[in-house]
Chain A
Amino acid sequence: MSLVNDGAELAGPDRAETLRLSEAQVGDYFALMKPRVMSLVVYTALVGLIVAPGHVHPIIGFTAIVCIAVGAGAAGALNMWYDADIDAIMTRTSRRPIPAGRIQPGDALGFGVTLATGSVFVLGLLVNWAAAGLLAFTIFFYVVIYTIWLKRSTPQSIVIGGAAGAFPPMIGWASATGGIGIEAVALFLVIFVWTPPHFWALSLTRTGDYAKAGIPMLPVVAGAEETRRQILRYTLVLLPVGVSPWLIGHAGAIYAAVALAGGAMMVALAWRVRHQRGAPADRAAKHLFAFSILYLVLVFTALLVEGLGAAFSRAVA
């Protein structure tokens, strides 16, 4: 991190005008790591690690989760570095540290690259290289494939880019087992199919913002009607995919009940989004967006409860 911004002149009588000394606070760098996104990443990775077969020493498990959290934060920082121009245009993102002028772009880039490199190598050295490889690929996918390539070029960026957010439980699983199982793929698919209705529900209420910034989000390119149709389609796919961990024998009855009830609720809310218009449609989209977060937390909590229950039973036996 440099003290002054790029191109600053270090001497001369006009230095007061040409220099901008860094006034970034620690909290600004923390905000650069997208803590809310990071919390979901940490939670899903933790569940992947705990429900994986075998035993992981708590210190090794803690190390894996810290590395995944820092890696996710690095990806967030690099995303904010590249997207600073469009973040400045959109109301929702205009107060982020770079567009608000609290952190210089070069500082954010250095911060992101340092954390990304550090998290991958520490995960590899202290846990295993399979998990580290997956973490490196996830950061690459989010920053290069999603942020730099797809986000500004296709409305399908949300679908394809959703893979980046779906990898964490797989990384958690790989941290515990050193590999990838069909169960980890099922967890990946749950988040992968969940992502489009989650983000498109949000984008329905922010269409003007995305259009102003020139981002080809589905409602901007194909219209609200098509977006509502796609939301319902993906939610109908999410219902069986959400139950799939139980279908393949990886999860128990608690999980099946939660995934079925939550999936049915998602479909019901998506149905409302599809068929309402005007202000009620906006409300329906907001409800779907809010419930989609709860859905993901609930299904992963059900898995966690079952996983901890099984571990406790093994310990007692």
Chain B
Amino acid sequence: MDERSPEDGIVLTDEQKRRRRARSIAIALALGALALLFYAVTIVKLGPGVLNRPL
């Protein structure tokens, strides 16, 4: 018999939690890689000029 009440909302199984965590980590890694890529290309395109701007 299901012991959960409707007020419990959606309850994930351990396997679902593990897979959601793995998906979240993959998204985080992809976003981190994108940030690194933008940083590297900025340095390549602008070089030292990236620091040369009026304050």
Contact = CB atoms under 8 A, between A and B. Distances in A.
A54 interface: no
17 contacts: A3-B20, A4-B10, A10-B10, A11-B6, A21-B10, A21-B13, A21-B16, A22-B19, A23-B15, A26-B22, A26-B23, A57-B44, A59-B41, A63-B41, A66-B37, A122-B37, A126-B37
B6 A12 contact: yes
A20 to B, nearest CB: 11
B41 A126 contact: yes
7 closest residue pairs by CB, A with B: A26-B26, A126-B41, A59-B44, A59-B40, A21-B16, A57-B44, A26-B22
Interface in B2-37: 2, 6, 9-10, 12-13, 15-16, 19-20, 22-23, 26, 34, 37
Interface string A221-240: 00000000000000000000
Contact of A126 (B9, B19, B38): B38
A33 to B, nearest CB: 12
A23 B23 contact: no
Interface SS majority for chain B? helix
A16 B37 contact: no
Contacts of A126: 37-38, 41
Interface of A: 1, 3-4, 10-13, 15-16, 19, 21-26, 29, 57, 59-60, 63, 66, 122, 126
Contacts of B23: 1, 24-26, 29
Contacts of A3: 10, 20
A16 B2 contact: yes
Given A23-B15, A23-B19, A15 B10 contact: yes
Nearest to B18: A25
Contacts of A25: 19, 22-23
A160 B15 CA distance: 44
A5 to B, nearest CB: 12
A132 B12 CA distance: 41
Given A23-B19, A59-B41, 16 more contacts: A4-B10, A11-B6, A12-B6, A13-B6, A19-B10, A21-B10, A22-B16, A22-B20, A23-B15, A23-B16, A26-B26, A59-B44, A63-B37, A63-B41, A122-B34, A126-B38
Contacts of A16: 2
B41 A60 contact: yes
Contacts of B9: 11
Contacts of A23: 15-16, 19
Q: Which of A1, A24, A26, A63 has the most CB of B within 10 A?
A: A26
A138 B10 CA distance: 41
B12 A21 contact: yes
A309 to B, nearest CB: 25
